[in-house]
Every structure is written in structure tokens, then in C-alpha cells.
Amino acid sequence: MAETNSPYDVIVVGGGPAGLCAAMYAGRGMLKTLLIERGLPGGELLNTEVIEDYIGFEHILGRELAEKMTKHAQKFGAELVTDTVATVEREADGGFVVRTELEKTYRAPAVIVTAGGTPTKLGVPGEKEYAGRGVSYCAVCDGAFFKGEVLAVVGGGDAAVEEADYLTRYAAKVYIVHRRDQLRASAILQQRARSNPKIEFVWNQVVEEIEGEPRGVTRLRLRDTVSGAISTLPVGGVFVFIGFRPNTGIVREHFEHDAQGYMVTDSNMMSSIPGLFAAGDVRVQLTRQITTAVGDATTAAIAVEKYLAERREQAAVGAS
């Protein structure tokens, strides 16, 4: 494995809004900063057509905001590398070694993990084709684009039921399509959904295909999980909530996390591993928005500066 001579102060893993903001602040704080992103920088912004809830931008294309954030991060000196982080490990001196799939090795005394999470996909025809044109994984991000429409939410857990309820603010009607005839969601959320006149449950059905026209989704092809019968459900959009997995598997040390694997941090965004920080969707928190991601990232980058200063002071005391 090629050893890269990398005198970085901090390595940011992931180039979504949290990663780009962390890199911008770290660079501005005169830290030698490396950001590693596997694809184009922007993360989930690149899967979002239009953004209307990022303060200061009433209406901006996801890719346009991604480009602006990338340029802004680079302006203050952050180095961006396209590669996939394979592992983040702590070394004996308390610093970190980051290994990538292109077999590069980078070292820094602090790492900010902003690797986001991955919504579980249905894996059916039409899902990829209509992503951003009627297929969504975030009600808060995209719900407002479906005013007066008939929508489907897939799933029967807390996320599906809660987000279906949220979507009725905009939609004329929301079908909750669930593969069984009983919800997994908590009683209180179930009660709320059942008493919402805009919500109708479609039991024992799985989505076989998402169909549409060039402008977007128009219907779902469903299969009855009991009888096997095929039917069609006309909808203007489908929101999929069948689970979400934080991308924390790269961290090869035990860290404190919740039952779903989200990283627990303190108020400085530091995880239970000293020097390992987290920001954005990988972190335990109430909501996962662009604004919360950049807020986390701001705190994390400034906390890294303080952490490194304290580490230098301790090293100086130890040496004297």
C-alpha cells in the first residue's frame, strides 16, 4: 500500500454538505485539511432536484448548491481527493490512519467523519430512473414539491408513518403501502396516522415497479403478498422509508452508538474516541437536514482546532 507523505492536521471523510462545510471551516482555521469523497462532492445534494429550505436560498438546484459549497471549501485551501475510504483506525500515538480503496494511506491527528447514511432502496425497476423525479427518501426535503398530489409512502415503521403524516400537509392524499397487515411503528404514531383523513393504508402489498412518464412518476405496480395479485396504484410520487443505514462501518475501533448504529457525540461533535469527530447524517440527532449538517460541521471543525491546540500543549508539557 502506497504511503502518502501527508502532514495533514485533519482528514474529513465524505464530501456532502457536512464534509464540505467542515473542510471550509478547517481551512479557514489554517488547518492543513484533506477531504476524501468517493464521488462528486455534494453528497445527497446531488440526489435532490431543487432545495427550498436552505436559509438564504429560496430556490436552488441541488447540484448548484453542491458546486458552490465545493468551491467555497477549496477557496480556503482544503485539498479534495476522489477516492473511497476503506478504514479509519486509531494509532498508538492517538492519531489516525485512513486507508482508501485506491490503496492510499493518509495520516492526521484528527478525523471528522461526515460519511452520511444510505436509505435502503426498494431495488425495483423505475426506482433509479425516477430518483429526483417523483422517487424520494426525504419528506422534509421534497414534500413541498407535491402540493395537491396523491402520493405513496412505502414502509410500516416509525419513519414511514411519521413522514406520511408530514406529507399530508402538502398532498391531497397519502397511501401507506406496507408489505404486511400490521405496522411496526409505535402506537402513538399509528394512532395519529389512522386518525388522519388524508392517509389510507394499502395492506399486504409490495412495489414491483415504479412507472411514469418523462416528467415523473405516474403509478406503482403492486403485488399482493398474500394472493399474488398484481394491481396498479396511480400516484404522483413515492416516498420510500424502509430503513436507513449510517455509513460508519469504516471506523475500525469501538465507538459509542445508538441501536441503529448512529454515532453518539458530545456537544463538540467528538465521538467516544478522542480526536474522532462526526457531523451530519452519521450522528445521533433529531433531524437530518442540510442546515443541521453544516451546523454540526462548523462545531466539529472549530472543536478540532481546539483539540489540536490542547494536544500540542500536552506534548510540550510532556517533553519539558
Q: Name the residues annotated as catalytic.
A: 138, 141-142
Tell me the number of residues near ligand NAP by CB under 6 A.
18
Instruction: Report how far residue 122's alpha carbon sits from residue 179's, in angstroms, rounded to the nearest whole number.
Output: 12
Q: How far is the CB of 10 from ligand NAP (least distance, A)?
A: 30
Per DSSP, the residues of 61-129 read: EHHHHHHHHHHHHHHTT-EEEE--EEEEEE-TTS-EEEEETTSEEEEESEEEE---EEEPP---TTTTT
Binding test (CB under 6 A) with ligand NAP, winner from 242, 269, 270, 303: 242
Does 126 bind ligand NAP (CB under 6 A)? Our answer is no
Side chain identity, residue 20: L
Does 192 bind ligand NAP (CB under 6 A)? Our answer is no
> Rg of the Cα trace of the chain?
22
Query: Given the rule CB under 6 A, which of 11-19, 176-184, 296-304, 311-319 is the region that contacts ligand NAP?
Result: 176-184
Instruction: Report how far residue 18's alpha carbon sits from residue 290's, in angstroms, rounded to the nearest whole number.
Output: 8
Does 139 bind ligand NAP (CB under 6 A)? Our answer is no
Q: How far is the CB of 280 from ligand NAP (least distance, A)?
A: 17
Q: What is the dihedral of CA 142, 143, 147, 149, to 10 degrees?
A: 100
Say how many residues make up the chain: 320
Q: How far is the CB of 140 from ligand NAP (least distance, A)?
A: 12
Which residues are bridge partners to 174 per DSSP?
151, 199
Does 206 bind ligand NAP (CB under 6 A)? Our answer is yes
Does 155 bind ligand NAP (CB under 6 A)? Our answer is yes
**Main-chain phi, psi angles of 204, to 5 degrees:** 55, 40
How many angstroms separate the Cα of 215 from the Cα of each of 27, 44, 133, 134? 41, 21, 7, 9
Q: Which is nearer to ligand NAP, 107 or 178 (CB)?
A: 178
Coil/strand/helix, residue 313? helix
Q: How far is the CB of 216 from ligand NAP (least distance, A)?
A: 21
Q: Which is nearer to ligand NAP, 6 or 225 (CB)?
A: 225
Name the grid cell of 150: 396523491
Count Cβ atoms below 10 Å from residue 181 Cβ, excluding itself. 12
Does 243 bind ligand NAP (CB under 6 A)? Our answer is yes
Name the grid cell of 8: 495533514
Does 262 bind ligand NAP (CB under 6 A)? Our answer is no
Q: Which is nearer to ligand NAP, 106 or 262 (CB)?
A: 262
Query: Given the rule CB under 6 A, which of 41-49, 98-106, 131-139, 237-245 is the region that contacts ligand NAP?
Result: 237-245
Binding test (CB under 6 A) with ligand NAP, winner from 76, 244, 302, 311: 244
Does 27 bind ligand NAP (CB under 6 A)? Our answer is no
Does 117 bind ligand NAP (CB under 6 A)? Our answer is no
Binding test (CB under 6 A) with ligand NAP, winner from 32, 38, 179, 223: 179
Q: Which residues bind ligand NAP (CB under 6 A)?
A: 122, 154-160, 162, 179-180, 184, 206, 241-244, 260
